[in-house]
Amino acid sequence: MEVTLNETDRLEVVLKKFHRAITKAGLFQDMKKKRFYESPAVQRRRKSQAARRRNRTR
């Protein structure tokens, strides 16, 4: 992830831009998922539950 900044940019503004870019790319969600080991059985169960949730709303 890269954020370009000018000499006149304040640190708060640059950090806000960086945070927004990371959130938009979905990196925070990936970091949360990969924080702990998840067995393959748990991954399948989570994915099937998410698919059921998606299909239920349609």
Please state, in angstroms and rounded to a whole number, the distance separating the CA atoms of residues 9 and 18. Answer: 13
Q: Rounded to a whole number, what is the largest CA-CA distance in the chain? A: 51
- The whole-model pTM stands at 0.53
Is-contact 2 25, C-beta < 8 A? no
> In this structure, what token pair is assigned to residue 48?
């099937």
Percent of the chain clearing pLDDT 90 (strictly above): 47
Helix H, strand E, coil C: the string for 1-57 is CCCCCCCCCCHHHHHHHHHHHHHHHCHHHHHHHCCCCCCHHHHHHHHHHHHHHHHHH
- Considering the chain, what is the average pLDDT of its residues? 89
Q: What is the pLDDT of residue 43?
A: 93
Q: What is the pLDDT of residue 28?
A: 85
Q: What is the pLDDT of residues 24-41, one digit of tens each?
A: 998 888 888 889 999 999
